[in-house]
Structure 1
Amino acid sequence: MSSSLSSKSGAIVLLIASLAGLAVALYAYFTPLTGVTGTLGALVAIVACIALAILALLLAAARGRGASVILRVLILIGLGGTFFAAMLLHQWWIGVAMVVGLIGLVLDLFRPARHARLTPS
């Protein structure tokens, strides 16, 4: 595995998990007899999964340490909130996707540090 791909593997796992959560949330929102068809809660889960996917893409492209920290905190809040919403909606597969997303976030925490540019003094 190349070093650039391995350094972004956590963000990729997070992106895949958020897209899987989005697919399940869309299914629950539009399919009759899921118990949450057309509800505001399912719509919020859809929007949250889209936001998590965007944040995962931003995390993969983040260069600075401060930006990475802010994105990780926002992603953690989003994962927790979406997991809680999924449990209230009885949509267990969205909850599973958010746990996989948390694993991706932890993988991203342990990604190799980028080489700092040395400036001559």
Structure 2
Amino acid sequence: MPQLQRRRLGAGLLLVSALVGLLIALYAYLTPLTGVTGTLGALVALLACVVLAGASLALFKLNRGAGLVILRVLILLGLAGTFFAALLLHQWLLCVAMVIGLIGWIIDLASPAPSNAFRS
């Protein structure tokens, strides 16, 4: 599999897991009898999924450099924090979505960024 295609696969998987996590957190926040309806923790998990989705979209634009490294570290912290919040909220499907996002992050990290140099 070409490097660029593998990198897009990782960022795409991360984006899909963040969007699925957003839907799960929104369901938990709005639906009565979920145990976390209207709580601050569910709202924070929802907002964290929105930020993760935006950060995964930024992965498509960055090629290499310090910005990419910082973004990847922040995404890892966001995944870990959202996973921990989902554990505390007993939202197991949100935990699964964050683990799938971690797999996408690892795929993105394992594939090297394409170089900007022209080849003749």
Q: Is the 8 A contact 2:79 2:101 kept in 1?
A: yes
Deviations 1:16-55 (A, max 9, x none): 0000100000000000000000000000000000000000
Deviation at 1:110, TM superposition (A): 1.4
Contact 1:41/1:85, CA 8 A, preserved across alignment:
yes
For 1:67, the equivalent position in structure 2 comes to: 67
| Identity over aligned pairs, percent | 56
**In structure 2, what is the Cα distance between the partners aligned to 1:117 and 1:88?**
47
Indicate the residue corresponding to 2:15 in structure 1: 15
> 1:65, CA displacement in angstroms?
2.3
Cα deviation, 1:38-89, whole Å, max 9, x if unaligned, reads 0000000000000000000001111222111101000000000000000000
**Whole-angstrom CA distance in 2 between matches of 1:97 and 1:50:** 13
Q: Identify the residue that residue 53 of structure 2 maps to in structure 1.
A: 53
User: What is the CA distance between 1:12 and its match in structure 2?
Assistant: 0.3
Task: Give the TM-score normalised by structure 1.
Answer: 0.91
Which portions of structure 1, spanning 4 or more consecutive aligned residues, are displaced by more than 2 angstroms? 1-7
- Structure 2, unpaired ranges of 5+: none
* TM-score (structure 2 length as normaliser): 0.91
1:28 is aligned to 2:25: no
Unaligned residue ranges in structure 1 (runs of 5+): none
Aligned length: 119
Measured on the aligned residues, the alpha-carbon RMSD in Å equals 1.8
For residues 23 and 38 of structure 1, what CA distance do their matches in structure 2 show? 15
The answer to which of 96-105 and 108-117 deviates more is 108-117
Indicate the residue corresponding to 2:37 in structure 1. 37
1:8 partner SS: helix
Counterpart in 1 of 2:81? 81
